[in-house]
Each structure stands twice: as C-alpha cells, then as structure tokens.
Amino acid sequence: MIGSQGEGLKIALRTLDHTRITIGAQAVGIAQGALDFALDYVKERKQFGKAIADFQGIQFMLADMAMKLEAARQMVYVAAAKSERNDADLTFFGAAAKCFAADAAMEITTDAVQLLGGYGYTRDFPVERMMRDAKITQIYEGTNQIQRVVMARQLLKG
C-alpha cells in the first residue's frame, strides 16, 4: 500500500500535478519541431519568384507561432520549478502549463501544416504526424477541459 488507508485518490491526484508538467514539456517539444520544420520550408519554397517567407502574411503566422511557443515554454518552466519546490499553488500551475502548452502545440502544428500547403497533410513530411502528436497532449493526463475544471476549482478555493 502506498500512503495511508483512504489516501489513495489524494495521492494519485497530487501525482498528476507533477506529471502534467511533463505533458506540457512534450507539447513544447512537438511545437518547436513543427516551427523549426516550417521555418526551413518557407525559406526554400518559392512562389511568384521569391521565397514564401518573404510574404508578410507568412511572417505574421511565423511570429504568432513563435510567440505562443515561447509563452508555453515559460509556463512549463514556471510549473516545473513549482513542482521541484512542491509549492502550494502547483495544482493550478501544473494544469495551466499542460493545458496552455497542449493548446499552443495544436495551433502551432496546425499552422505548420498550413504553411506546407498540400505537402503538410501528407506523410512525406513530419508536420502531419506532429499535428497528431500535439492532439494527444490535449487528451491524456486529463483532457484540457478537465484542466480548466482543475484551474477553476483552485481559483475558487482562493
């Protein structure tokens, strides 16, 4: 038996506070890979005689992808530090880091697929797999809807 009798659920839920951060880190890694691949692709792909990276709309997408990625990375770092210290507000931050990073990874990988056009949807390029991998980070260790419930309960507790 781990812990005292009747404490199992409490211990299991507290464990999730720590492990959710690893899912956030996984999501950050997936998103970074998708952004890196998309950056290389848009620098090489030519349209109308110039690299598509030169088009302002593409640049806006890339900037948004990088901004969301960095915000997710910082949330995961903060949650990881709180996990190391076993801070009292870890439950909120673990759920927030997992939720935000997973949602960001889904958006970033979807944008990477779009930047590759039709190629992005084929198995010849890794971004379609990255998009599927990002999706699972929104689901396991508690869906992102559940993460929002966890966060709201923490906020309401005070």
Active site members: 141
Q: Count Cα atoms within 13 angstroms, Cβ side, for 134.
A: 29
Among 147, 133, 113, which Cα is nearest to 16's? 147
CA–CA gap between residue 14 and residue 91 (Å, rounded):
8
With a CB cutoff of 8 Å and minimum separation 6, the contacts of 74 are: none
CB neighbourhood size of 86 (10 A):
10
